[in-house]
């Protein structure tokens, strides 16, 4: 399973899911869990001027040491050179292994680690997960992937709202004065047995069908002052899901395309 947020992507097994997402493009934090004592944590900060990566890393580890000492267990740690920056591992009341990098993203410093509330070795998980971290952008698009929703959106789309509930993922972004909404619905094959795709797409989006194929429906409605609501609904039977991408905009270059859906 891929996870991509604010221009940072990594690969995880299907049992991982986000448990915390805060901040924005310039500075933020994501935590993912697998239902056990382990977590993947990613922190990023905008880089300004020259960067003393080791000093920033040691300041972070000092905070972890403070938290560990509250449980009467001092933190020990080691640093090591890495192809992407500085690798680190720590052991105390909890344990972790990660990387601090100014190379993954040219505009940001990224700290990524796998941690555990237990004292344990994390080298295997570290190699499997953190080695997959990469940028999630190309020249004009950026990938957003979470809980089955997989979209390639125009650069500089800013997430405003998110809804993660059983069987449904919904995120709303703003791109200048345009609004983009993405939805992922599970149990699609069962839904399609009860409702034709065109009927379901019109009901979910509130828009008029303008064209369709067996698995894809395009919808559109002209709105006040020239703004349009435009949508694509795609049935992905191999994933047993439906993906909805809806845009409210007066700009033709914001018209959604099938290539937006991963």
Put residue 24 in one of left, alpha, beta given phi > 0 → left and psi -120 to 50 → alpha: beta
Q: What is the share, in percent, of the chain residues with pLDDT greater than 70?
A: 100
| Confidence tier at 1 by pLDDT (50, 70, 90) | confident
Distance between CA atoms of residues 171 and 29, nearest Å: 17
The string of pLDDT tens digits covering residues 101-141 is: 999 998 999 999 999 987 777 877 778 888 899 999 988 89
Distance between CA atoms of residues 92 and 2, nearest Å: 30
Q: What is the mean pLDDT of residues 169-197?
A: 95
Alpha helices in the chain (DSSP H): 53-69, 123-130, 188-194, 197-205
Q: What is the mean pLDDT of residues 30-38?
A: 92
DSSP code at position 118: S
Domain annotation for the chain: domains and CATH numbers: 2-135 (3.40.1000.10), 141-260 (3.40.1000)
pLDDT the model gives residue 207: 96
Cβ atoms < 10 Å from Cβ of 20: 11
pLDDT the model gives residue 179: 97
The string of pLDDT tens digits covering residues 195-211 is: 999 999 999 999 999 99
pLDDT the model gives residue 225: 75
Distance between CA atoms of residues 150 and 238, nearest Å: 14
Distance between CA atoms of residues 126 and 120, nearest Å: 12
Cβ contact 97:126 at 8 Å: yes
In the predicted model, what is the mean pLDDT of the chain? 93
The string of pLDDT tens digits covering residues 74-102 is: 999 999 998 889 999 999 999 999 999 99
């Amino acid at each position: 399973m891929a996870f991509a947020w604010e221009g940072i992507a990594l690969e995880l097994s299907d049992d991982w899911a986000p448990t915390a997402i805060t901040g924005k493009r310039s500075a933020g934090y994501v935590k993912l869990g697998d239902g056990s004592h382990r977590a993947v944590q990613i922190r990023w900060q905008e880089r300004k001027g020259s960067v003393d990566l080791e000093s920033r890393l040691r300041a972070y580890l000092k905070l972890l040491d403070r938290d560990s000492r509250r449980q009467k267990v001092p933190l020990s740690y080691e640093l090591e050179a890495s192809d992407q920056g500085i690798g680190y591992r720590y052991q105390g009341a909890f344990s972790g292994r990660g990387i601090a990098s100014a190379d993954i993203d040219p505009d940001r410093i990224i700290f990524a680690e796998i941690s555990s509330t237990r004292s344990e070795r994390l080298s295997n998980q570290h190699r499997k997960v953190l080695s997959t971290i990469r940028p999630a952008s190309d020249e004009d698009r950026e990938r957003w992937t979470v809980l089955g929703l997989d979209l390639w959106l125009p650069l500089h789309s800013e997430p405003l709202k998110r809804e993660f509930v059983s069987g449904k993922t919904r995120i709303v972004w703003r791109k200048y004065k345009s609004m983009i909404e993405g939805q992922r619905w599970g149990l699609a094959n069962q839904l399609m047995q009860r409702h034709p795709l065109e009927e379901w797409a019109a009901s979910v989006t509130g828009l008029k069908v303008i064209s369709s194929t067996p698995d894809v429906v395009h919808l559109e409605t002209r709105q006040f002052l020239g703004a349009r609501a435009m949508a694509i609904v795609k049935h992905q039977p191999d994933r047993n899901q439906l993906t909805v991408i809806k845009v409210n905009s007066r700009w033709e270059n914001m018209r959604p395309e099938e290539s937006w859906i991963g």
